[in-house]
Amino acid sequence: MRAVLLAAGLGTRLRPLTDTIPKCLVPINGKPLLDIWCDSLLKVGVSKILVNLHYKHQVVEEHIAKSAYCNQVKSVFEPELLGTAGTLIANRNFFNGEDGILLHADNYSEANLGQLIESHLQRPTKCLMTMLAFRTQTPQTCGILEVDDQNVLQNMYEKSHQDHGNLANGALYILSRELIASLTTESDFSTQVIPKLYDRIQVVETNETYLDIGTPESYALAQEIANVK
């Protein structure tokens, strides 16, 4: 299985930290987020990783070239941002006709990726993808999920101020090869792909730490609670 890490964002909410460092290289207890993700993915058998880049791409390219995982990770520069689904479509051949992982490199996760992959392999036959979910304390900032008694997605409420619970989309997906092949002109995964797949997405909740490292507050929290080795 291969994985695409979305790492092209500007990180504007984390300024001034991201004025000098791209968000995917922000350190959690001394270890860059990108390194944390690459280590986690390679440990569960992911064979190759593709990282899309835009803001301060040269800094990330140099970091990858000097890393222990340089032979298994490649990057692709986007002069203009393609969007989360656009990047997937532009690089669909990277998946080599197989199922693959799509995730945001600016999240911090302690979820068991091996168990998530196993759940995907055993998903209901009607489901085209598996989505990681977590419980959030700030549901108004997330995509909140409504699932049935089989943990299949029925609806997603994006950054709603109404009460839809607190089960949030972790923006970490395992995609079937059928789904990857079916995408055509979509640019945003959350708003243009997921709504077409209600009742066809398996949701797997993690009880482990999962944080969007998007604000100074969440970054500070990660420094306090992260189990980084």
Report the alpha-carbon angle 220-225-228, nearest 5: 100
Question: What does the alpha-carbon distance between residue 132 and residue 148 come to, in Å, rounded to a whole number?
Answer: 15
Using one digit for the tens of pLDDT, what is the confidence trace for 151-164?
999 999 988 788 88
Q: Which of 157, 158, 197 is nearest to 175 (CA)?
A: 197
Amino acid residing at 1: M
Say what percent of the chain tops pLDDT 70: 95
Residue 47, pLDDT > 80, answer yes
Mean pLDDT, range 204-221, rounded to an integer = 83
| 131 phi, psi to nearest 5 deg | -115, 130
Residue 221 banded pLDDT, cuts 50, 70, 90: confident
Residue 11, pLDDT > 60, answer no
Mean pLDDT, range 157-175, rounded to an integer = 90
Between 30-44, 98-112, 187-201, 206-220, the lowest mean confidence (pLDDT) is in 206-220
Residue 18 CB partners (closer than 8 Å, separation 6+): 10, 11, 12, 26, 55
Question: What does the alpha-carbon distance between residue 186 and residue 180 come to, in Å, rounded to a whole number?
Answer: 11
Question: What does the alpha-carbon distance between residue 97 and residue 201 come to, in Å, rounded to a whole number?
Answer: 20
> What are the residue boundaries of the structural domains of the chain, listed by start?
2-225
Mean pLDDT, range 139-166, rounded to an integer = 90
Question: What does the alpha-carbon distance between residue 157 and residue 190 come to, in Å, rounded to a whole number?
Answer: 10
Residue in the block written with tokens 């797949």: 197
Instruction: Indicate the fold that domain 2-225 takes in CATH.
Output: Spore Coat Polysaccharide Biosynthesis Protein SpsA; Chain A (3.90.550)
Mean pLDDT, range 19-32, rounded to an integer = 84
Residue 150's Cα: distance from chain center in Å? 23
